[in-house]
Structure 1
Amino acid sequence: MFDLTTQDIKYLPGVGPQRAVTLNKELGIYTLHDLLYYFPYKYVDRSRIYSIREIDGTMPYIQLKGEIRSFELAGEGRQRRLIAHFTDGTGFVDLVWFQGIKFLTGKYKVHQEYIVFGRPTVFNGRINIAHPDVDLVTEVRMDAMGLRPYYNTTEKMKRSFLNSNAIEKLMGTLIQQLHEPLPETLSSEILTEHHLMPLTEALVNIHFPGNADLLRKAQYRLKFEELFYVQLNILRYASDRLRKYRGYIFRRIGDVFNTFYTRNLPFELTGAQKRVLKEIRHDLGSGRQMNRLLQGDVGSGKTLVALMSMLIALDNGYQACMMAPTEILANQHYETIRALLCGMDVQVELLTGSIRGKRREAILQGLASGEVKILIGTHAVIEDTVGFASLGLVVIDEQHRFGVAQRARLWTKNEQPPHVLVMTATPIPRTLAMTLYGDLDVSVIDELPPGRKPIATIHQFDNRRECLYRFVRAQIAEGRQVYIVYPLIKESEKIDLKNLEEGYLHVCEEFPDCRICKVHGKMKPAEKDEQMQLFASGEAQIMVATTVIEVGVNVPNASVMIIENAERFGLSQLHQLRGRVGRGADQSYCILMTGYKLADDTRKRLEIMVRTNDGFEIAEADLKLRGPGDLEGTQQSGVAFDLKIADLARDGQLLQYVREVAQKVVDEDPERKLSKNEILWRQLKVLRKNNVNWAAIS
């Protein structure tokens, strides 16, 4: 049989050159293999025909059999529509089209019998179906009208007459050409042991299920395979790294660490911080390279744990480095760490893109000689000109903002790769962590330092703004500071949102006695830093900003976070913004401002925010509501998803199960030599060559 992966989609009957270009551009479908793996997003039971008198406007989908009695053109301009009055003898419904009117008036005829399928709604007291599927009764095989697949399409595709129905017909043509089984992509042992449907049978039933049970088995087979190869890739990489790289052994806990612990530690460590430090110490002394993810909510004390880990490196004669995604955050870490090490003989330097000339040269010489013990910086630290005498530990903050290649370059700073501690303040659901960071050991700081009060979160409607401003004035009178965050910088004609420029002027009018600063992403770094410094020093009482402040500003005196148009933000982003306050001992508040008209999922998001401060609970809810591809951070450099059928929000148990299956394969066959696994390693190689992006750190 011809090779599906090389056969151009344009040669499939019904496609041709023009439609092929549309499929290329809109869906990334270039070959028959790409089309076969373009799965339906839902299925609808087309086996039942309703009578019109049975239906109402609340039913999801219905199928009718009857005839069009007459046509009517209504409306003007964009409201222009074609209405077909359809009956089955028990009543009438209106079939309505807003596009393709000229084509449709020639296509459908009165007094011919049709099968009509669509979603009924009620408008002006009449039941209507917008853009229904309409087929001549003579062209429909009712015995084949079972579970019908529905495919996602775009507006451009619809203009090329490539709607879901057309994709279904192309898929039928392709499947008819599968005269013999496709080569298997899983070993016979795995297929038998886990009761999996053969590949060809699964692909046929995912598009044209014989019944609901066959559909479930097809979905399970394809999800199993997809998640299995995600985990096999990650675990193979982790296994290779463990065998290939030995780690520096940090046996000593010496003077630097002990001096800091006894003299400089600002407060008693929480139980969670002690537990995480114990895990890190074990890694550093184990003889294998540490590759650990440290998760912790904003303000949980990750920086302190990172510093104490770096001091262990210093006690063992090595240097340490911390890399942050922005100059603001790098500066903040530098100031924090210098303050924590006050009075100790430890040279700490900051290296960012804006540090040049003699200052930069002095830092580079200090690193090369070993005089500089701790370097804090942005991506500037991975430049070729930056060399260390003995780099033993690297800490990467908010690591999802760095590309895979950028992170890997830190490893080349030594003959033997340094230990790596990756930190994130974005809580990551367990299933997502297993995919994003599957090759890292995970530590979690799940306690806040003593004295921190939970942030009170309130959802407020726009008409309560006067009440809100009275509250803000009271907070400022007590010496507190306030953030006001907007989703946009300039007004959008398409989206009616309050924008930062107008908001800034409005806030200046409302609070004439206050100093107000403004920060957004389009400002020059120096200008942005100046405005942030005004707020951090307490000179400005109110900061009006976009989400640029989501990461990187630490102002313990700020007690109020107002988020305008909160419905425009995802849960994780709202939680990150909320974390900008609550950093001091005073009670802090996060106020979510919205209009009255809110979608159901938006209300759910806001209710979750009001109910809990638990970042992990919020991340799990966000994953369920929005899916992994939309989560904050997961679309940053080096992190993306290409899961075609599995859903990390719903398939967590299956993911855990296939991880165990993949782990067994890697443990049994670390050097990939067993003949029974040959098909698995070959398929993984094919997937990696085709750039299937699973976001694994590899």
Structure 2
Amino acid sequence: MDLYTPINEINKIGKYYSTRLKKLNIQTVHDLLFHIPSRYEDLSQIKHVNEVAPDETDTISGQIWEIRNVRTKYGKNLTFATIHDGTGTIDSVWFNQPFLTKTFKVGLTINLSGKIGHFNNKLTLINPEYEIRYKKERPIHTGRLVPIYPETAGITSKWLRSRTSNLLNILSPKLNEYLPNPIIKRNKLLDLKTALYNIHFPDKLEDSIKARERLAFDELLLIQLSTIKRKLEWQENLSSTPLKIDQEKILHLISTLPFQLTAAQNQSIKDILTDLAKNTPMNRLLQGDVGSGKTVVATVAIYAAYLNKLQSTLMAPTEILSIQHFQTISSILNRLGVKVGLRTGSTKEKGDFDCIIGTHALLSEGFKFPNLGLIIIDEQHRFGVIQRATLRSKSQSPHVLTMTATPIPRSLALTLYGNLDLSSLDELPEGRLKIKTFVVPPNKRNGAYTFIERHIKSGNQAFIICPLIDPSESLESVKSAKEEHQRLQNEVFPELNLGLLHGRLPSKEKQNVIEKFRRGDYHILVSTPVVEVGIDITNTNVMMIEAAERFGLAALHQLRGRVGRGLVQSYCLLFTESTSKEVIERLKLLEKYNIGLKLAEMDLTLRGPGEIYGTAQHGVPSLKAASFQDLKLIQQSRKEALAILEKDKSLKSFPTLMEKLERFEEDISPD
């Protein structure tokens, strides 16, 4: 047996438990040992029998004087034990556990931890945790800091403690240290064996903190090694023809724009043009808040490729967003002679194009790019690793620019996107007003409808967002787009025209609805969150979001970014039926903060990266010990990863670390 032995091959586990362990993502011995406690229960203070008092949770240690089963007249089985510790005796009672008379024998020394109550008018331990004491064995269930684990049906913390303790004892000689000793000393880390034992069975809380720090460092180091190694291999193994940057023509393009670029846009353009002029392919992430102007930056890159007689392609996650990119980019570049085409599931333009914009339809085998030099991927976390690789395979060594409107905290950028160069658009175009956001109580709903109607009469338009398409029996209080559209049209806004948009509409119908809204045929668009990315209508200045508690902060920020595109004051009204203090406080953060990065940092703390960035399906590990908020540890691990790879890019001089990294990359490899 070793760390990577399948869990179902372990004695006393077998098929029954391994099936249940799979729900906790435990499939190997390694997974079980790294299934770390979520908290610890302090049962370390052992009291004498004559010191216990009612309603306390106490631990006692003593000898069994008597053990017996009693069947009540109601058919229940009670098991009684009398325990003596030299200062007195106390009874203990268990319900429906008659097997304990076979487990316990008179004369055995036992630890009991549980609540002190009254039974038959006597002080009694009620249904306590128990542990038979053997001279050479340390207790793991009582009389110490007791680890409590994430559980599932059929798998209790007690079961996990027993198996983990047993495996640690067996595997201790095989737990080879994979971190070089200088790194351990430099960062004041525990050795691996001590860390693993102390995370499960610490003598004091400080021991568990130090143990978690070591295991967290390991997780972050492996991520850093993986991402930085990929970046070095990208730079080393791929070469591209440097583009000649015609500054005069680039400046002419910028001068034709009907607005001034921000300093951040100018800097990002400079970063990208510098990359394109190198003989290694660009691999850059352009991060920008909603409405910060990423598309214009991408357009300059497309034009630079065109001036070098190279094709570009831009892949977006939805047809709505693809069409919007097509409209924006073609309006800027067509007059400069650049032919821009569109390819989606429902639109397949034919002909030779300098730039093709589309959805995953661009990945189809029959679609060829004769001279592809630049790939732009919008909202890259919405595509799987294989989809992104397929697009890259359309050219030998293309330049790659990925874009996201989902703000990425620095700690996450350093960790998950360490293989990419990063440019940030951290300011909005001049003249944009901060969107005023309010959490609206249900009793002010009619006032909100009056507010919306007033703005429509002033010539503006509004969005009303519902989480569901159809009504749900299990979510009766959550409004659905179809039902709400009908109710609002008939009962609330009978004199106005309301459109309906959701993900199940055919593509042409979706586009038709958007165009009608853009033209002003609809005063209000009732929609699901399909509008989160890609609908840019400057005349809308009010957004109302139903059941706002069902969205994360980042998603709500993305949604409200659909308004506030013009120069008039915009508003976002958040409705929730929840009375939870935590929910209201979380939503009120949107009243306070209008900066996506700040909200993303808070979302990261509240929910973790998987839900925000969709990373669970896209080759990003779920952290067990580390936290993406721990910037100090991230910086330490990054520094060490860079030093290791500078010394030996192949890691052959670090064989145990190299094996660990290979295992790690196998575990996180998607698809």
Task: Give me the TM-score of the superposition, normalised by structure 2.
Answer: 0.87
Give how far 1:294 is off. 0.5
Aligned position for 1:126 = none
Residue 37 of structure 2 aligns to a residue whose secondary structure is coil
Does 2:504 match 1:522? yes
Match of 1:682 in 2: 659
Paired with 1:565 and 1:502, the residues of 2 have a C-alpha distance of 14
**Conserved in 2, the CA contact under 8 Å of 1:461 and 1:596?**
no
Aligned mates of 2:116, 2:488 — CA distance in 1: 46
Q: What is the match of residue 176 of structure 1?
A: 169
The 8 Å contact of residues 35 and 624 in structure 2, kept in 1 or not, is answered as yes
1:198-237 alignment, distance < 5 Å: 198-237=191-230
Q: Is the 8 A contact 2:178 2:656 kept in 1?
A: yes
Task: Report deviation, 1:255.
Answer: 6.2
Counterpart in 2 of 1:246? 239
The answer on whether the counterparts of 1:256 and 1:314 sit within 8 Å (CA) in structure 2 is no
CA contact (8 A) 1:556 1:584 kept: yes
Could you tell me how far apart the structure 1 residues matched to 2:80 and 2:460 are?
A: 65
Note closer, same or farther for the CA distance 1:142–1:195 as it changes in structure 2 (3 Å cut): closer
Provide the residue aligned with 1:422 in structure 2. 402
The residue matched to 2:485 in structure 1 has which SS?
helix
State the identity as a percent. 38
The partner residue of 2:605 within 624, 627, 643 is 624
Q: Counterparts of 1:219-618 in structure 2 under 5 Å?
A: 219-253=212-246, 256-262=249-255, 264-341=256-333, 343-356=335-348, 360=349, 362-363=350-351, 366=352, 372-415=353-396, 417-500=397-480, 501-508=482-489, 509-595=491-577, 597-600=579-582, 602-618=583-599
Taking the aligned partners of 2:252 and 2:593, their CA distance within structure 1 comes to 38
Instruction: For residue 668 of structure 2, give the secondary structure of its aligned residue in structure 1.
Output: coil
Contact 1:320 1:374 in 2 (8 A): yes
| 2:146 is the counterpart of 1:153 | no
The CA deviation string for residues 558-611 of structure 1, in whole angstroms up to 9 with x for no partner, is 1111011111111111111110100111110000111251242x2332121110
Structure 1 residues 82 and 132 mapped into 2: Cα distance closer, same or farther (>3 Å)? same
Moved more, 577-586 or 208-217: 208-217
Secondary structure (helix, strand or coil) at the match of 1:648 reads coil
Counterpart Cα distance in 1 of 2:205 and 2:493: 63
Q: 1:164 to 1:413 in 2, by over 3 A?
A: same
CA separation of 1:494 and 1:132: change in aligned 2, threshold 3 A: farther
SS at 1:343 equivalent: helix
Q: Distance in 1 between matches of 2:100 and 2:479?
A: 48
Aligned residue for 1:134?
Answer: 129
Partners of 2:139 and 2:4 lie apart in 1 by 34
C-alpha RMSD over aligned residues: 3.5
**Alpha-carbon contact 2:59-2:113 (below 8 Å) kept:** yes
Question: In the alignment, is the contact (CA less than 8 A) between 2:131 and 2:139 conserved in 1?
Answer: no
Q: Which residue of 2 aligns with 1:37?
A: 34
Q: What is the rounded CA distance, in whole Å, between the counterparts of 1:525 and 1:96 in structure 2?
A: 66
Query: Is the alpha carbon distance of 1:7 and 1:563 closer, same or farther for their aligned partners in structure 2, counting shifts above 3 Å?
Result: closer
Aligned residues: 637
Choose from 190, 197, 200 the match for 2:190. Answer: 197
Q: Aligned letter for 2:379?
A: E
Letter in 2 for 1:373: D
Partner of 1:11: 10
* Deviation for aligned residue 1:132: 7.0
SS in 2 for 1:562: strand
Offset of residue 37 of structure 1: 1.9
Q: Where does residue 657 of structure 1 map in the other structure? A: 636
* 181-190 vs 565-574, which moves further: 181-190
1:543 Cα offset (Å): 1.1
Cα distance in 2, alignment partners of residues 37 and 136 from structure 1: 24
Indicate the SS of the match to 2:5.
Answer: coil
Equivalent position amino acid for 2:533 in 1: V
Report the equivalent of 1:692.
668
Letter aligned with residue 42 of structure 2: D
Q: For residue 256 of structure 1, report the CA deviation from its aligned partner.
A: 4.6
Whether the aligned pair in 1 keeps the contact of 2:54 and 2:116 (CA below 8 Å) is no
Q: 163-172 vs 184-193, which deviates more?
A: 184-193
C-alpha distance in structure 2 between counterparts of 1:117 and 1:242, whole Å: 61
Whether the aligned pair in 2 keeps the contact of 1:298 and 1:579 (CA below 8 Å) is yes
Query: Structure 1 401/231 Cα, relative in aligned 2: closer, same or farther at 3 Å?
Result: same
Give the superposition deviation at 1:288: 2.2
Contact in 2 for aligned 1:187/1:679 (Cα 8 Å)? no
C-alpha deviation, 1:106, in angstroms = 7.7
The 2-side partners of 1:135 and 1:562 are apart by: 55
Separation (CA, whole Å) in 1 of partners of 2:556 and 2:545: 8
Q: Give the C-alpha shift of residue 236 in structure 1.
A: 0.8
Give the match for residue 63 of structure 1.
Answer: 58
Long gaps (5+) in structure 1? 57-61, 74-80, 89-94, 121-128, 367-371
What is the aligned partner in structure 2 of residue 667 from structure 1?
646
Q: Cα–Cα, structure 1 residues 210 and 671, in superposed 2: closer, same or farther, change >3 Å?
A: same
Shifted more, 195-204 versus 511-520: the winner is: 195-204
User: Given the superposition, is the C-alpha separation of residues 65 and 317 from structure 1 closer, same or farther in structure 2, using an over 3 Å criterion?
Assistant: same
| One-letter code aligned to 1:331 | I
Amino acid at match of 1:4: L
SS at match of 2:285: strand
Deviation at 1:108, TM superposition (A): 9.8
Separation in 2 of the partners of 1:657 and 1:133? Answer: 44
Deviations 1:2-45 (A, max 9, x none): 32322544533x4344223322x322333323222221111122
Instruction: Give the direction of change, closer, same or farther, for the CA distance of 1:337–1:141 in structure 2 (3 Å limit).
Output: closer
Distance verdict in 2 for CA 1:116–1:305, change over 3 Å = same
Q: Which runs of 5+ in 2 are unaligned?
A: 84-91, 118-124
